[in-house]
Amino acid sequence: MAFTPKDAVLFDLYTSLAERLASAARSAVELVAAPVETRRELAKRIGNIESEADELLGKIVRRIDDMFVTPYDRGDLQDLANSLDDAMDAIEEATDVAVLHRVVDFPPLASDLVETVRRCAELTASSMPRLKNLKDLEHFYIEVDRLEDEGDRIHRRITAQLYDGSVDAMTILRVIGTIDQFEESLDHMAKVARVIRTIALKEN
């Protein structure tokens, strides 16, 4: 029962941005599973999605800046958009680096890690329409938190396997950039959930 007007266009922009994130994550899953020669094409696709996301971010920032009456705290809205964009950038960097560094074989657990990223991104995209009413988001907070923890554990196991002495240093260096960025994208999605939670705490 709030009396502050809610701008529909702004909420649609957030949902679109989160959907781009999910779509980039799905392509990242494909890329990790794909043979080396098709990876360049997939990385290019993710690069395009990232450019679209940048445009959306620009629209969101301008719209928040233009609005005199914002639905929620101006700073929180800004943080939310930035965190979504950070998550996107991390996925894009992970895949671009994989191609640039000419990674041949990903460690076996890399597919688990990128799968976690995809689940988290899809959950974020499907929850974003609820930013408008801030209802039924409990599951989203808990699940993102859980996925981030899971991603951390997988990341640690991957590095442990890489450092166990059987992999040569050059291979480790090639692959670690990608692995780290996937893990990073989960951290940014956790930040997204935290910001939404902060907004929900202040409102309603």
Site for other proteins (CB under 8 A): which residue of 69, 104, 169, 170? 69
Q: Please state, in angstroms and rounded to a whole number, the distance separating the CA atoms of residues 17 and 50.
A: 10
Single out the segment in contact with other proteins by CB under 8 A; choices: 21-29, 35-43, 67-75, 80-88: 67-75
CA distances from 105 to 25, 34, 101, 109, 166 (A): 19, 10, 12, 11, 14
Site for other proteins (CB under 8 A): which residue of 37, 66, 136, 168? 66
Supply the minimum distance, in Å, between the C-beta of residue 202 and other proteins. Answer: 6
Site for other proteins (CB under 8 A): which residue of 104, 169, 170, 201? 201
| Count of C-beta atoms within a 10 Å radius of residue 58 | 12
Which C-beta is closer to other proteins: that of 6 or that of 153? 6
CA proximity to 113, closest of 127, 100, 94: 94
Confirm or reject binding of residue 8 to other proteins (CB under 8 A). no
Which C-beta is closer to other proteins: that of 60 or that of 91? 60
Contacts (CB under 8 A) with other proteins, residues 72-101: 73-74
Site for other proteins (CB under 8 A): which residue of 65, 105, 138, 149? 65
Site for other proteins (CB under 8 A): which residue of 34, 61, 67, 137? 67
Confirm or reject binding of residue 62 to other proteins (CB under 8 A). no
DSSP state string for 93-138: HHHHHHHHTT-----TTHHHHHHHHHHHHHHHHHHGGGGTTT-S-H
CA proximity to 203, closest of 129, 135, 110, 117: 135
Confirm or reject binding of residue 136 to other proteins (CB under 8 A). no
Q: Please state, in angstroms and rounded to a whole number, the distance separating the CA atoms of residues 15 and 18.
A: 5
Supply the minimum distance, in Å, between the C-beta of residue 71 and other proteins. Answer: 9
Whether residue 64 contacts residue 10, with contact meaning beta carbons closer than 8 Å, is answered with yes
Supply the minimum distance, in Å, between the C-beta of residue 97 and other proteins. Answer: 39
CA atoms lying within 13 Å on the CB side of residue 146: 8
Supply the minimum distance, in Å, between the C-beta of residue 185 and other proteins. Answer: 30
Confirm or reject binding of residue 164 to other proteins (CB under 8 A). no
Residue numbers of the site for other proteins (CB under 8 A)?
A: 1-5, 7, 65-70, 73-74, 201-204
